[in-house]
Structure 1
Amino acid sequence: MVFDDEKNHFPPLTEYYHYQIGRVSEGTALSYLNVLESFFYWLKTKSLYQGEKVKWDSLTLAVKSAIKQYLQKELGCKVRDQDSYEKVFLTNKSKRTVNHFLAAIKAFYKTMKKIGMYNYNNPLVNLDLVDQDLNEVKGERKDRQRMPKIAGTEEPVNYRKVTDSYFKIMNDEWVPEVIGEWDLPYKVYNAGEKSKWNLRDEVIIRFLFETGARISEILELTIGDYRNRMDKHEFSAFNKGSFKRRSKFIRISPETLKLLIRYINLERKKFTNNPVKFENLSNDEFIFISQRGGKYKYTAFYNNWSKIISTAGMKLNPHKARHWFVTSRLRGIYETSTSKAEIEDKKKQLIGYMKWRDSETINVYEHLYDEEKFRDIHEQMIQTYTRREKEYLKNKKSNKETFATKVITTPDKQFDEDWLNDFYEGME
């Protein structure tokens, strides 16, 4: 249930959240809630249309006006009227959540219309395009079906031009946060120990930093995902957009494997309705479970993660561990490679491991991907992580600051940050 600032139940967001579960991931639904809560509080306290405060269920025109104000005053955007829609321009003051906010608010009003809680037109939809089928775009050959993008014989369609959104971001350029602080995982581990984390969360957080997987992919791991791989340090996993099909694998360190075995044999058995040994567990059982014996959900994990991060005195969401993995892996490629050809080869292996799904890039690299090559590189990386963790803990006890803690991002003439930006965009 969602409550407002006066601790009263706020049914629209409660209904919206439950409607979204099953349509989007639990993590996405929760992140939408976070940005919408901020908007509705602003709506209640600061919005103004024709001399009155705007309510969430006000007339379409009033809500549109309020959203425009919010984009300008709170999110740092410039908004320009363009016939039947509004152009949204990002500035150097714009927050990173602009795109996320527009997606969340559009989905919110779409939901309210669906369940009959909003009686007017969706403020986020351009009515001039409602009746158009955005997929029915004619090809260049007369009376013939449009050729697929992969054929390369027709110019790709720019769907931004025909989107039905009323607010259109015109200069959408996603700039990733490069996280190059070597000691970040160990600071989180140290905070976890201080906050007395349980073994389950310790294993999950180590998975985040060691594999580069999304938290949703880790929480969905089953016993069968471990058995499906021949290497004892690997798991089959689904990828974003694979519809739960196990289309990739992830690797962990020997140390994390030991902790996982201890978790399954000891802590996990306390909460399961089927307290049998690992070899007797069925393939479809989730590896990580709640204290009630069910699937360990993102909301429950995020609450525990927040406590740990708060103890560390940081602001960090679980997805940043994925960015840290890619940044540190890419820097490792540059540090250990002796030629440009070797750098490019290792980049392709990284792309294959991460399952970068950009259709123009992944198709080129897919056949070059070699699991054995990545396995060797990953083992070298894990050895480096293990050594750095020991150094960090040793210096932590003696109150010494390691050189790595002082360096967040160092300029490197060889380091191709533009490539990393493109890679991040595809990775998201």
Structure 2
Amino acid sequence: MSKRFIHYFCPADIESKYALMVFDDENNHFVPLTEYYQYQLGRVSESTALSYLNILEPYFCWLKNKSLFQGARVDWTNAPLAIKSAIKQYLQKELGCKVRDQDSHEKVFLTNKSKKTVNHFLSAIKAFYKAMIKLGLYDHPNPLVNLDLLGQNIEISGDRKNRQRMPQLAGTEEPISYRKVTDSYFKIINDEWVPEIISDWDLPYKIYNAGEKSNWQLRDEVITRFMFETGARISEILDLTIGDYRNRLDKHEFSAYNKGSFKRRTKFIRISPETLKLLIRYINVERPKYANNPIKFDKLPDDEFIFISQRGGRYQYTAFYNNWTKIIGFAGIKLNPHKARHWFVTSRLRGIYESSSSKAEIEEKKKQLIGYMKWRDSETINVYEHMYDEEKYRDIHEQMIQTYSFREKEYLKNKKMNKPTAVANVVTKQNKNFEEDWLNDLYEGMD
């Protein structure tokens, strides 16, 4: 069995200061990561804290068993020089990066072998040492912070010569078009956010089927359907209240907060009639079994959370994630909850193209999708479109290869039998409705 660090959530019937505990590859309690996760709760979302933990556990296992600095294993408590050396090794050997040394920092170049989690790992390990310093468990400066950069006084000049730059609120200066200077010691040079394109249109049904096999609770079934039908983040769904349902006139809609809206309800989400029926059954039948205040829906206060734990409090992300891993285990796939959001956007974009009759209609529906998702940067959809175009090309190319294979077999078959080839008359999806003028225009454009 391979060595690894692992965490266990605190059982519902046990009182503990820790939401979970981390154990090393020898089943010893690994206090630093346990304390780190607990420290992060309340500072970042539960999903972010758990994702940081999941990405740090393999690193600390590698650090304990494979790291090397000046002929010895590196301990997480070592001075910054040793920690930086270990992280550089990990980036190169385990995450597939190229790292180039600069005067005061390291440049990290992503390659075609790099894992998608590089940026997430660097954020997580930087946050880890920040937490350890705050908790008094690490006696050195943060190894992931560029101390030389912190000592510099970087000023950005304004549009008016020899004048201090006016604040952005004044509206008198051109906006700054480049990124804020980062204080990170490891800087990713060629990083670009790429969304996940989930092209398996049956994915939700596979998860629903796995949920039934795992004997899931009605609460988790409703939440999972919310994820695939609304495109909302799991944290937004778990924070829904009774008032969020009452605030909307349409019975299939809920008010919801958006990332960066500081819990203000700035958007709405919609569910299907089938999911609404399941939600009503959950609220009327399953929820009262665990509620501290088991009264009927119409008398519940607005600030009551819709989804609650077996203790009657808000259903926490860690508890949901624990159940989620059991569900996807029955599906035989690896899938984090956020992938449902990517699936939703991908399927909506495909639906827009397939249901629209003009370019103007496509653009209008895209604007509606951008508004619904509440993307701060409307250019986000362009990234999805680029990936979606690649998916469409793959479909077309696959059809073309199938046609090539068919024509090749027919050619060889007729050649063996000394028959004139008849494949020129074969009608396929490629040459149906074919317009010769289009091909002529293409040739002219290649000149």
TM-score range, shorter chain: 0.7 to 0.9
Opposite residue 365 of structure 2, the aligned amino acid is K
Equivalent residue number for residue 373 of structure 1: none
The secondary structure found in structure 2 opposite 1:159 is coil
Contact 1:138/1:146 (CA < 8 Å) preserved in 2? Answer: no
1:346 corresponds to: 365
1:411 counterpart = 2:430: no
Q: How far apart are residue 47 of structure 1 and its match?
A: 0.2
| Deviation of the 1:174 alpha carbon | 2.1
Q: In the comparison of the two structures, how many residue pairs are matched?
A: 366
- Equivalent residues of 2:252, 2:273 under 8 A apart: yes
On the 8 A contact 1:147/1:154 being kept in 2, the answer is: no
Partner of 1:235, secondary structure, is strand
Alpha-carbon distance between aligned partners in 1 of 2:184 and 2:119, rounded to the nearest angstrom: 12
Residue of structure 1 in register with 2:60 after alignment: 40
- Mapped to 1, the partners of 2:357 and 2:116 lie a distance apart of 37
Report 1 or 2 for greater relative contact order, CA contacts < 8 Å, sequence distance ≥ 6: 1
Distance across 1 between alignment mates of 2:169 and 2:346: 31
* Distance in 2, Cα, partners of 1:214 & 1:341: 30
How do 1:1-400 residues align onto structure 2 when only pairs under 5 Å count?
1-132=21-152, 137-141=156-160, 142-146=162-166, 148=168, 154=174, 156-159=176-179, 162-358=181-377
In 2, the alpha carbon distance for the partners of 1:291 and 1:57 equals 39
CA distance in structure 2 between the partners assigned to 1:32 and 1:329 by the alignment? 30
1:24-82 per-position Cα deviation (integer Å, ceiling 9, x unaligned):
00110111011111110000000000000000000110000000000000000000011
Is the 2:156–2:165 Cα contact (8 Å) retained in structure 1? Answer: no
Q: Which runs of 5+ in 1 are unaligned?
A: 363-407, 415-428
Where does the alignment leave 5 or more consecutive residues of structure 2 unmatched?
A: 1-20, 381-389, 397-447
Q: Which has the larger radius of gyration?
A: 2
For 1:125, the aligned partner's letter is: V
| CA displacement at 1:10 relative to structure 2 | 1.3
How many Å apart are 1:131 and its aligned residue?
Answer: 3.4
Q: Would you say the 8 A contact 1:181–1:409 is kept in 2? A: no
Conserved? CA contact 1:195–1:307, under 8 Å: yes
Matched-pair contact (CA < 8 Å) for 2:230–2:344: yes
Kindly provide the CA deviation profile for residues 339-373 of structure 1, in whole angstroms up to 9, marking residues without a partner as x: 11110110000000000012x759xxxxxxxxxxx
| Superposition deviation, residue 133 in structure 1 | 6.3
Work out the CA distance in 1 between the residues paired with 2:379 and 2:189: 24
Distance 1:345 1:194 in 2: 41
Report the Cα distance in structure 1 between the residues aligned to 2:304 and 2:153, rounded to whole angstroms. Answer: 42
Aligned-partner Cα distance in 1 for 2:72–2:159 = 51
Does the CA contact (< 8 Å) of 2:168 and 2:175 recur in 1?
no
Q: How far apart are 1:147 and its partner, in Å?
A: 5.5
Q: Distance in 2 between matches of 1:20 and 1:132?
A: 29
CA distance in 2, matches of 1:31, 1:339: 42
Between the aligned partners of 1:151 and 1:184, the Cα distance in structure 2 is 47
In 1, the alpha carbon distance for the partners of 2:49 and 2:287 equals 27
In the TM superposition, what is the alpha-carbon distance from 1:410 to its structure 2 partner? 4.2
1:182 touches 1:328 (CA, 8 Å); kept in 2?
Answer: yes
The sequence identity of aligned pairs, in percent, is: 74
* Runs of 4+ displaced beyond 4 Å: 149-153
- Give the deviation of 1:411 after TM superposition: 2.6
CA shift for structure 1 position 137: 3.2
Partners of 1:265 and 1:120 in 2: CA distance: 55
Q: CA deviation at 1:152?
A: 9.1
TM-score, length of structure 2 as denominator length: 0.79
Q: Give the Cα separation in 1 of the matches to 2:282 and 2:253.
A: 17
